Structure 1
Amino acid sequence: MEQVQYRELQEPEPNSSFNSTSSSEDEIDFEAGEELDLTKLQTGQVVSSSGWLLNPAPPSLSNRKCLILDLDETLVHSSFKYVRQADFVIPVEVEGQVHNVYVIKRPGVDEFLKKVGEWYEVVVFTASVSRYGDPLLDILDRSRSIHHRLFRESCYNYQGNYIKNLSQIGRDLKNLIIIDNSPASYIFHPQHAIPISSWFSDTHDGELLDILPLLHDLSCIDDVRLSLDINI
């Protein structure tokens, strides 16, 4: 993120963004006892034919836990500004004009995706729009480890913020894990989260690979919430 924490990828226009966890500058204020039906869809949310964000898992994945991964500042860092060390560049159209987006991969992301794709049903869930996220993931996912992609239109809007609502995924909550650099994204389900720091360009970062042993262990247990409460 180049400007502020919850505005991950800014378009050239000052008042719009491809990828923003927050659609306002307000901090999220959520109390655990607040009455919300988190399974209820909101107007405009895009869901699958099943009525959940995802259709039922295919037989080949039905016995796996489900791993939700954030994209920007978790797996990659992207910028409209020229980046000499960019791993790849994608063209993205903004209001009729095509702009180049320079993408740097977080160290270890290729191995990370390959491994978790062997252990989990993998979902990339991002507050970005699909016209940016889809071409990026087409290049990033070299091992074809990502089984599903969810974008901004699937997010749950709460106090003007784009939340990744795990209660709407369509999987048993005991089988769901989320990795995201923004705690605001999983404010409703902190007991399912593995926190990770925001990444921009540090070539010595090793967090993705450091998480792998924990993820391997979690893939084999009955209820991930019990272990995450202890380990994180």
Structure 2
Amino acid sequence: MSSIVLRSRIGSNDCSSKIIYRRVLSSGVVSSSSSSSSNPSKETIIPSQSILSDNPAPPTPPPPAPEASTQVSGRKSWTFLKYGLLATVTGAIGYAGYLSYKCSYEEVEQKAKSLRAAASYTPSEDAAAVEKYRGMLYSAAMTVPAKALESYLDLRKMVEEHVMEFTEPTSDKLLPDLHPQEQHVFTLVLDLNETLLYTDWKRERGWRTFKRPGVDAFLEHMAKFYEIVVYSDQMNMYVDPVCERLDPNHYIRYRLSRGATKYQDGKHYRDLSKLNRDPAKILYVSAHAFESSLQPENCVPIKPYKLETDDTALLDLIPFLEYVARNSPADIRQVLQSYERKDVAKEFLERSKEYQRRMQGQRQQGRFWWR
């Protein structure tokens, strides 16, 4: 076994010496044949420079073709154009946003008119050729921004009209025209939540609605003197079924829900100017009257209902409302202004007592004079 391994090692050494010898001959370096043949292990060391010089130099890459350079320049120009268009669109959007925030539609339209006038500039016939050329250049330069501003105005008008559908009442006349024989009748606008009823929610039973004490007698009596309207900021899917159960005798003529309110500053306001009624003959009764109406001069505040069993706020308000309906003042807003946002029912009661005291004093003076 050892002899076989030895022979294989000797054979591999012979092969390696033959390969080295052939490489030396092919490199063109002359070495002594006697030394290489007699002692193959002692070969002549070949310098690396000679090997490098003998090998052929690597081929240099050919110069780029004209088409390739054209493609590179085209890509650069397209990149420049792309970023230029992006910057232009971004600037236009930013300027449009600034105009929407800073200027009204009428102000922007005035600027558009000035640009249109500049774009349609025509020099006089007596002007010099240089002036005419300058006028043509100026008119051409103003045409693009004028067209862009006109497009912006059209888009803004469309957006504002679309937004107004959600922020403005559904109609400028929320109620039909009043009958000619009822032109003298006042309109009593009532809120729902915490005014006529109270809605409560508990986990074990869910939502429940409670009528305010005296609401049935209040509606029945006020229907003799007023046109009663319910105006709520709730959805009509809530207002309609609640009013059906609240008013089975239909003393309430009209119901207005959230679609009839004006959405402003994150709140839904009652806009009494859209009721198609004389503002001098509208009274708005609500537990949050001044916070929920755009016309505070027509508001009659009332104590909020919070499930108190001894609540009499609606019944206490009947004498004042009946007095207004019977005496028919020329402008109810002036009457309400005299109360200075106080409790109208309580203040009216105090004024009535003071009036009765004065009248009683005058009667006593009259009796004393006759005696």
Superposition TM-score, scaled by structure 1 size: 0.69
Q: Is the 8 A contact 1:118 1:145 kept in 2?
A: no
Unaligned segments of structure 1, at least 5 residues: 1-40, 85-99
Which residue does 1:123 correspond to in 2?
229
- Report the AA paired with residue 227 of structure 1: V
Which residue does 1:221 correspond to in 2?
329
1:199/1:118 CA distance change after superposition, 3 Å: same
**In the TM superposition, what are the counterparts of 1:1-232 in structure 2 within 5 Å?**
42-44=164-166, 45-47=168-170, 51-59=172-180, 61-81=182-202, 101-182=207-288, 183-186=290-293, 188-219=294-325, 220-231=328-339, 232=342
Q: Secondary structure at the match of 1:72?
A: coil
CA distance in 2 between counterparts of 1:79 and 1:161 reads: 21
Q: Is the 8 A contact 1:113 1:143 kept in 2?
A: no
CA distance in 2 between counterparts of 1:143 and 1:200 reads: 25
- Residue 62 of structure 1 and its aligned partner are, at CA, apart by 3.4
Q: Secondary structure at the match of 1:122?
A: strand
CA distance in 1 between counterparts of 2:279 and 2:309 reads: 35
CA distance in 2 between counterparts of 1:107 and 1:130 reads: 24
CA distance in 1 between counterparts of 2:261 and 2:244 reads: 21
Q: Is the 8 A contact 2:225 2:322 kept in 1?
A: yes
Q: Answer with 1 or 2: which has the greater Rg.
A: 2
Q: Secondary structure at the match of 1:162?
A: strand
Q: Is the 8 A contact 1:61 1:121 kept in 2?
A: no
Partner deviation per Cα, 1:23-58 (whole Å, 9 max, x = no partner): xxxxxxxxxxxxxxxxxx94234545xx41111123
Q: Secondary structure at the match of 1:197?
A: coil
Q: How many residues align?
A: 174
CA distance in 1 between counterparts of 2:256 and 2:193 reads: 13
1:137/1:52 CA distance change after superposition, 3 Å: same
CA distance in 1 between counterparts of 2:177 and 2:275 reads: 10
Superposition TM-score, scaled by structure 2 size: 0.44
- Report the AA paired with residue 126 of structure 1: S
- Report the AA paired with residue 210 of structure 1: D
Q: Which has the higher contact order (CA 8 A, sep 6+)?
A: 1
Partner deviation per Cα, 1:58-103 (whole Å, 9 max, x = no partner): 346433111110001100011243799xxxxxxxxxxxxxxx6411
- Report the AA paired with residue 43 of structure 1: E
Q: Secondary structure at the match of 1:43?
A: helix
CA distance in 2 between counterparts of 1:55 and 1:152 reads: 18
1:83/1:139 CA distance change after superposition, 3 Å: farther
1:192/1:46 CA distance change after superposition, 3 Å: closer
Q: Is the 8 A contact 2:281 2:331 kept in 1?
A: yes
CA distance in 1 between counterparts of 2:285 and 2:188 reads: 8
- Report the AA paired with residue 202 of structure 1: E
**Greater helix content:** 2
Partner deviation per Cα, 1:126-165 (whole Å, 9 max, x = no partner): 0111111100100111332101100011101111110001
Q: Is the 8 A contact 1:69 1:124 kept in 2?
A: yes
- Residue 124 of structure 1 and its aligned partner are, at CA, apart by 0.2
Q: Is the 8 A contact 1:42 1:156 kept in 2?
A: no
CA distance in 2 between counterparts of 1:83 and 1:64 reads: 46
Q: Is the 8 A contact 1:218 1:227 kept in 2?
A: no
- Report the AA paired with residue 292 of structure 2: S
**Greater strand content:** 1
- Report the AA paired with residue 198 of structure 2: H
CA distance in 2 between counterparts of 1:119 and 1:52 reads: 23
Q: Secondary structure at the match of 2:220?
A: helix
Percent of aligned positions with the same letter in both sequences? 30
- Report the AA paired with residue 239 of structure 2: G
